[in-house]
Amino acid sequence: MLSFTEENYLKALLKVSLESGHPEAGTNELAHILNVKPATVTDMLKKLKEKKLVNYERYGKISLTRDGKKRAVEVLRKHRLWETFLYQKLSFTWDEVHEVAEQLEHIQSAKLIDRIDELLGFPEFDPHGDAIPNAKGEIKLRIQKTLDEIEPGKSCKMVAVKDNSTPFLQYVVKVGLGISSKIKVISKQPYDAMLIIEIKGKKHTVSQKFTQNIFVVTEIKS
């Protein structure tokens, strides 16, 4: 059985891979995501390599082995199903579910997770818009962009967030956004890439950092 920390490393590596579209990641990149020192990452990678869960050479790129990816997908599935369960069934807000799911994801009961999946109606996405792996380990990916990539005059629909931190999610709500919200980009400042966007008839000025953490699709179905 893997430790909670080992599962967290595998999950983090999988998330990096899914977000970047590349199977490999760097030590510093992983350290930044996990908020630990690179030396700490190196020590853990050695342990995971011994268990044949990652491919890793010192100063080289890191990738999941077949077994490592299977374990990572299982943890990610549990995490996102727990987030959805807390949000839909227990009335947690979307900025509250992540920390609780971080604890619940380590429960070792496949039957429990399958029952929760069935109870929720086999959801494909969690409250933050992230894809939930199904029981076969398949992940439904979609073509999406960040809001800062949308040209002025174009409209789009918010489908997910990159930053799941509580302050960011609370700010998203304050601006008036949520999953499936329609956004129109009014203008973009050349100097600092700040956007003026329109949501439900109201205009808001948002920073580039904000727009880089909002995922959207440009095909809007009424």
pLDDT of residue 1: 87
Q: Which residues contact 184 (CB under 8 A, 6 or more apart)?
A: 154, 155, 197, 198, 199
Overall pTM surpassing 0.85 (yes/no): yes
Confirm if 162 and 168 have CB atoms less than 8 A apart: no
* Encoded tokens for 182: 């329609």
Instruction: Give how far Cα 222 sits from Cα of 7, 26, 160, 190, 202, Å.
Output: 41, 41, 19, 32, 20
Residue with tokens 């995490």: 79
Confirm if 213 and 206 have CB atoms less than 8 A apart: no
Confirm if 173 and 164 have CB atoms less than 8 A apart: no
In CATH, what is the architecture of 145-217? Roll (2.30)
SS3 label, residue 63: strand
CB atoms within 10 A of CB 26: 15
> Class of the 4-64 domain?
mainly alpha
Per-residue pLDDT of the chain (222 residues; tens, 9 = 90+): 899 999 999 999 999 999 888 889 999 999 988 999 999 999 999 999 999 999 998 878 899 999 999 999 999 999 999 999 999 999 999 999 999 999 999 999 999 999 999 999 999 999 999 999 999 999 998 889 999 999 999 999 999 999 999 999 999 999 999 999 999 999 999 989 999 999 999 999 999 999 999 999 996 554
- The number of angstroms, rounded, from the C-alpha of 18 to the middle of its chain's C-alpha atoms is 9
Confirm if 185 and 146 have CB atoms less than 8 A apart: no
Confirm if 68 and 7 have CB atoms less than 8 A apart: no
Return phi, psi of residue 155, to 5°: -115, 155
pLDDT of residue 221: 55
CB atoms within 10 A of CB 204: 16
For CATH 2.30.30.90, the residue range(s) in the chain are: 145-217
For CATH 1.10.10.10, the residue range(s) in the chain are: 4-64
